Amino acid sequence: MEEEEGFSHYSEDDVRRIYPILRAMAGQRMAFERPGNTLQPTALAHEAWLRMRSDDDRSWKNTAHFFTAAAETMRRILIDRARRRNRPKHAGDLDRVPMIAAEDEATENKEPMLQVNAALEKLKKVNPPRAQVVLLKFFGGLTNQEIAEEMGVTERTVERYWAYSKSWLFREIQGQR
């Protein structure tokens, strides 16, 4: 992949070089999924690749830009799966309770991925650069140095953004419960 020209067309060598990195990103992301999840990192990497290839705009400025798009695509795939699991048809995250107790049962969103997504969407509106750090670090598995290069800031700035974002997201998610 050429850094200067962008890379909307992939050679076999590009795919061989990109795929292990996509697979590693998926593996890092899947480590945080709930127990019993049936989606494997390889399947997540394949799905992300297919979705990215089918998008109309496939001209990424450079490798870092490509992996930012890959992180966002993986996030969307995981959010879609979490929403499907939470649907009433699939019983969501419901437990069997006696009918009498069902009247008192509070419905709450216990799907962690949906909670993180809702909080991240709010953070995007409040502070987009900090939300981008979360996306790249949490969903993309990029290092602070890679994130700094992608965003054009220092590593120290990335560290500050990450520290702020973690506490902001934690408070936001606690408020959702």
Give the residue extent of every domain in the chain.
12-176
Contact 6, 59 (CB under 8 A): yes
| Residue 23, pLDDT score | 83
Q: How far apart are CA 123 and CA 138, in angstroms?
A: 14
Does 120 score more than 80 pLDDT?
yes
Q: How far apart are CA 147 and CA 158, in angstroms?
A: 7
Q: How far apart are CA 115 and CA 110, in angstroms?
A: 8
Mean pLDDT for the stretch of residues 102-127? 73
- The 10s digit of each residue's pLDDT in 36-75 is 667 788 888 888 888 887 765 566 777 777 778 888 888 8
Q: How far is CA 59 from CA 7, 33, 128, 152, in A?
A: 6, 30, 22, 20
Query: Environment class of residue 139 by beta-carbon count within 10 Å: exposed (0-12), middle (13-18) or buried (19+)?
Result: buried
Mean pLDDT for the stretch of residues 106-120? 71
Ranking 26-40, 65-79, 104-118, 132-146 by mean pLDDT, the lowest is 104-118
- The pTM (predicted TM-score) of the whole model is 0.58
| Residue 108, pLDDT score | 47
Coil/strand/helix, residue 72:
helix
Does 143 score more than 70 pLDDT?
yes
Does 126 score more than 90 pLDDT?
yes
Q: How far apart are CA 66 and CA 45, in angstroms?
A: 13
Q: How far apart are CA 21 and CA 15, in angstroms?
A: 10
